[in-house]
Amino acid sequence: MKSLNKFQQSLSLKEKNLLKINSVARFFIEISDLDDLNSIQDFVTEKKISFCTLGEGSNVVLPNLIDKLVISISYDEIIVEENLITVGAGKNWDDFVIWSLKNGYSGLENLSGIPGSVGAAPIQNIGAYGSEVSHFIEEVICFDVELNEFISFTNSECNFSYRKSIFQKQSSLVIIKVKFKLSKDFIPNLEYEDLNSLKEDNISPNTIREHILKVRNAKISDPRICPNVGSFFKNPIISRNELDKIKQINPSIKYNSYLDNKVKISAAFLIESLNLKGFTLKNAKVSDKHSLVLENKSEKPKDILDLASHIQSLVLDNYNINLEIEPLIF
């Protein structure tokens, strides 16, 4: 097998996840040459193991042992066809945002500063400041390990919704490339509350990017200093009837209108209303900067998951709302 020597055994992933959990992969391969994908099926069959993919570890909670083959895509080529830009899954997301702005494309500026890789972006339909990556995705190109062939999904086939996509349930797929449809006609998106202070006159995509980076830095601790994966919980989406019941508990509840006559509740508000901002449990802490951010000081996943469970229990007891964890728990 040509690429057999590229498979590594018992590799530490501590520096490959933002929570700095001391996780070890039983087997590991980094894919920079797409031809190496053809060796994966034979390898997992021979070793009788399953596989998983890991990007930059920016939205995951890893176990101390991953008894699988961990696949990391470092392929990061960019191919331009007018307003269609195909990007390798291994490209750093924010580096791609910078590239798009430098090359005159707009749209991705509201998604500035989000950690992770391009390949991870469609999986949870990353979003921030009134925008979601699904607004710009034309196609997602994958490698199906079971079929040993490439397969692509159009935007509609990805079944995008709030922090969800088809790729969360397709275990045989490895995202290889993402094709984006971007525009050189700039239309600013300033609907999000933190952007209301910006004026449309003389504004540029770079102005929005710089503002968002300042806001993010003020709210989210540097993961290199305080290991974290950003928002740990999704904002709950509930019906208007459920909202009325919550208003009886807390009239000042923060929410925004959503699709199908539903509303999106601020998970941060729920947590802060229970005086949990800055709360510490063992080796994990609710950030002093933003209550959706959980900071980790342990090499094991248990402490941060115990803190998350504690928060979920209190929110459920007080508001009858189930807070859903945003990062993928392996």
Using alpha carbons, list the distances in angstroms from residue 276 to 65, 230, 292, 298.
Answer: 31, 16, 10, 20
Handedness of CA 266, 219, 210, 195 (dihedral sign): positive
What are the catalytic residues? 163, 231, 326
Using alpha carbons, list the distances in angstroms from residue 228 to 12, 58, 223, 231.
Answer: 18, 8, 5, 9
Contacting residues for 219 by C-beta, under 8 A, at least 6 apart: 289, 290, 293
At CB < 8 A and 24+ separation, what contacts does 3-9 make?
A: 3/29, 3/33, 3/35, 3/36, 3/39, 4/39, 4/43, 6/30, 6/36, 6/39, 7/43, 7/69
Nearest CA to 62 out of 19, 115, 120 is that of: 19
Nearest CA to 34 out of 84, 80, 71, 83 is that of: 71
Nearest CA to 313 out of 276, 262, 261 is that of: 276
